[in-house]
Amino acid sequence: MKNVPRIRVEDIQSIRILVCHLIYSLGCPLKREQLMEITSLEQAVSYFDLAEALDGIEERLCTVEELDGDLVYTNTKLGDTAAREFGNILPASIREKMFEEAVKVYTRDAMKKDKLFAVRYAENENGSCTIGISIKDDITGKQKYYLNIYTGDKDSAEKIKNKIKADPAEFSRYLDKYFE
């Protein structure tokens, strides 16, 4: 089997764009620890490079705010612009892998706060969307399902997200019946 070289993001400016892209794609703020965990997937970004990038990102591309007792990074308008206009300089494989990991980390952490489900989606370059759904078992409290759903466009993703959010228990029952 041939070894496939890993793609790493080492340029500090590119790492800052990756951080902005993750926050923009998820549509929610992220904690420093979450960013560390997400970008360590397959060693896409070194811990020290990310720390340096985060130290220089504040005020211009991101702000650091307190949310539910945690410090989180949120994009500024310039950060959102950087994510939209420069996100494509990052390799597509990095963007996709990091987004999938971000959804997993975010939904896992959201579920720890006694939520039964979490759903997020991001728009891909070609207009399609990737939806990440995590559902917790209401009896055991452990993750029951984690799904990635791909849709053709943002409207479809928004409809699916809203339908699941309207009745997550029904969606969970549907999956239970389907997988029986």
Pair 158, 96 in one domain: no
Residue-wise pLDDT tens digits, 118-164 = 777 777 767 888 888 888 777 777 778 888 888 999 899 889 988 88
Pair 140, 55 in one domain: no
Pair 107, 139 in one domain: no
What pLDDT was estimated at residue 52?
A: 93
**pTM for the model:** 0.70
Pair 103, 84 in one domain: yes
Provide the CATH number for the domain around residue 90.
1.10.10.10
**Position 2 pLDDT exceeds 70:** no
Measured CA to CA in angstroms, residue 126 lies from 1, 7, 111, 133, 139 at distances of: 32, 22, 30, 21, 40
What pLDDT was estimated at residue 38?
A: 92
Q: Which residues pair with 66 in a beta bridge?
A: 71
- Tell me which of 112, 133, 156 is where a domain ends: 112
How many domains does the chain contain in total?
2
Instruction: Work out the pLDDT band at 1, boundaries 50, 70, 90.
Output: very low
Q: Order of strands, edge to edge, in the sheet holding 117-123? A: 117-123, 129-136, 143-151
State the residue range of the domain holding 64: 1-112
Pair 22, 87 in one domain: yes
Q: What percent of the chain has pLDDT over 90?
A: 32
Pair 142, 160 in one domain: yes
Pair 68, 122 in one domain: no
Pair 39, 56 in one domain: yes
pLDDT, average across residues 75-79: 93
- Tell me which of 87, 112, 137 is where a domain ends: 112
Measured CA to CA in angstroms, residue 41 lies from 21, 34, 45 at distances of: 16, 11, 8
What pLDDT was estimated at residue 5?
A: 45
Pair 103, 27 in one domain: yes
Pair 81, 123 in one domain: no
Residue-wise pLDDT tens digits, 101-126 = 888 888 777 767 656 677 777 777 67
Of 139 and 32, the structure prediction assigns the larger pLDDT to: 32
Pair 94, 140 in one domain: no
- Tell me which of 94, 112, 130 is where a domain ends: 112
